[in-house]
Amino acid sequence: MDKFFNTAGPCRTELHYMVDPLQRLQGVRKLIDGQQYFSIFGPRQTGKTTCLYALMEALNHEGRYTALTVNIQVAAGGRDSLEAMRMVAAAIYRQATLHLIEPEWPEAISEQDENFDNLQDYLSDWSRHNRRPIVLFIDEVDALSEPYFRTLMRQIRSGFEGRPRGFPQSIALVGLRDVQDYDAQTGPSSTDLPGIDTPFNIKSTSVVIDWFSPDEMDELLHQHTHITGQEFPDELREELFDITQGQPWLVNSIANLIISDLLYSDYQELIQPQHLLTAQQLLLERRETHIDSIIKKLSEAPVKLVVEGIINGEAPDFTKFKDALAYTRSMGIVTRKPPIRFANPIYQHLALNTMCSVFLESMPTDLVNIENYWYETKLDMDEILEEFQLFYRRFAETWMARYEFKEAGRQLLFIAFLLRLTQEQAEFEWDMAVGNERCGITMTYQGQRSAFLLKLRHDNYSRDEGLNQMVRYLKRMNLEQGYLLLFDIFWEERVYREELEHKHKHIILIGM
């Protein structure tokens, strides 16, 4: 069977193209040899499970350790902490029977075993009777609720000093986030564990499994070329990295769509740059599990807080922002480092279209009929904005009252207007991030470029600040004219138009 780009479950070397998983776990061998406990984390669909299985197999093949990867997600369904730990032990036993030789199995146990006392004793007994030091990777640790996680931490901490003969030599806790970042809403937190030691006074470090670098993505695509002779053009590879930023599932999914769905696995066909755009459209239309999960996350309170802050450029509620940002980053939706933006253009496109969807479907047909504004070879942008201004005055207040994403509603209403007006045939350059205090949009339609800066008017300083921000934005976009849309959140003198020169730039100020 030909190899293919994997989009479901862990990668297997005999079936899938894959970046060497062990090179993505730099430093882990040293931690294991040093009898360290540590954390491995990374957003969803980054290949954590693939890396864990590859390392488990490599360690077992070398023969120095008994290594096992176990997914403990099932324990989240336990009725109490005792049952949850018994389910963890049962999961360890089942995995051992699948991946280890019988002399290395722990004591047989089922989820209904009434003789089970605690996980610490179970791991201690296994370690004492095993012929090699044990290395245990506990995956999906963040699936546990706070009380169960609390119990797991106590029992690992209590057994730690007995390693390597009386407890596993090395344990890695694996999840979406570094364990110290968990909170009670999305998982455990060190602050939720009073009176006990969390792994942080025994763990040495945290290992991040991140997205592909450009070189790693090229390595993945080159494997297909090496086997089939079918090349991905340089232009396509560069664009693929730009739109995915190396997110492994997106890279594999788009490559798989191009090869399997568009070219029907005909390796004699040339891969063209336009195949990338078509594959991206198919990916979004099909709403497969990963895409659907991102869409659903947008309505969760922590994600909403961060995403709306990106779109409106405002600083969110600081009392909630730290935890909300950590959670949103664990989903891979936003960047890991400031400035806080959408993690890649595909996620941004997905978020904006999802959050604009009710507006997109509700816009009056005459308002968004682009033929009404087309004169000879260009759009009359002044007339377009005048019509939007009238529409905004009549409907915005009512629509905002019923809208889910109120904090970024004004910006999203205008974004929806542009998307519907151009039937998504325009090219957009977005400049949005938490703390920017504005949202920049450059739209190119039929060769005509138009720049917009969307800003909330909180006080009398907002106007002059917006003008200066508009000048900087126009310089960066290499344009001489742009539109500053100033949304008055107090609805005072809210609809007006002013045309002015500011620092040698022509700015049309649209008051909303």
Average pLDDT over residues 28-43: 93
Does pLDDT of 182 surpass 80?
no
List, edge to edge, every strand of the sheet that includes 203-208.
66-71, 134-139, 170-175, 37-41, 203-208
What residues form DSSP beta bridges with 449?
A: 444
Average pLDDT over residues 169-188: 70
| Span 115-131, pLDDT tens digits | 898 999 999 999 999 99
Does pLDDT of 65 surpass 50?
yes
pTM of the model: 0.87
Instruction: Establish whether the linkage from the previous residue to 302 is cis, with ω within 30° of 0.
Output: no
Identify the band that residue 438 occupies on the pLDDT scale cut at 50, 70 and 90.
very high
Q: Out of 70-84, 176-190, 318-332, 478-492, pick the least confident.
A: 176-190
Does pLDDT of 193 surpass 70?
no
Average pLDDT over residues 18-25: 93
Does pLDDT of 80 surpass 80?
yes
| Span 268-280, pLDDT tens digits | 999 999 999 999 9
**Arithmetic mean of pLDDT over the chain:** 91
pLDDT of residue 228: 96
- Looking only at Cα atoms, what is the longest distance across the chain? 85
Radius of gyration of the chain (CA): 27
Identify the band that residue 496 occupies on the pLDDT scale cut at 50, 70 and 90.
confident
Does pLDDT of 187 surpass 50?
no
| Pairing between β-strand 66-71 and β-strand 134-139 as defined by DSSP bridges | parallel
Residues 6+ apart with CB under 8 A from 431: 439, 440, 441, 442, 473
Average pLDDT over residues 335-349: 96
Average pLDDT over residues 342-361: 96
Average pLDDT over residues 83-105: 97
Does pLDDT of 494 surpass 80?
no
Does pLDDT of 199 surpass 70?
no
Identify the band that residue 181 occupies on the pLDDT scale cut at 50, 70 and 90.
low
Task: Break the chain into its structural domains and give their ranges.
Answer: 20-208, 214-286, 310-511
> Which one has a higher pLDDT value, 330 or 279?
279
Sign of CA dihedral 456, 459, 463, 466: negative
| CA-closest candidate to residue 370, choices 415, 440, 418 | 418
Structure token pair of residue 471: 């000048």
Does pLDDT of 477 surpass 80?
yes
Average pLDDT over residues 248-275: 96
Residues 6+ apart with CB under 8 A from 58: 22
Average pLDDT over residues 235-247: 97
Fold of 20-208: Rossmann fold (3.40.50)
CB atoms closer than 10 angstroms to residue 185: 13
414 vs 409: CA distance, rounded Å:
9
> Which one has a higher pLDDT value, 317 or 247?
247
Identify the band that residue 381 occupies on the pLDDT scale cut at 50, 70 and 90.
very high
Identify the band that residue 204 occupies on the pLDDT scale cut at 50, 70 and 90.
low
The 3-class SS string of 368-430 reads: CCHHHHEECCEECHHHHHHHHHHHHHHHHHHHHHCCCCHHHHHHHHHHHHHHHHCCCCCEEEE
pLDDT of residue 359: 96
pLDDT of residue 491: 52
pLDDT of residue 178: 78
Identify the band that residue 183 occupies on the pLDDT scale cut at 50, 70 and 90.
very low
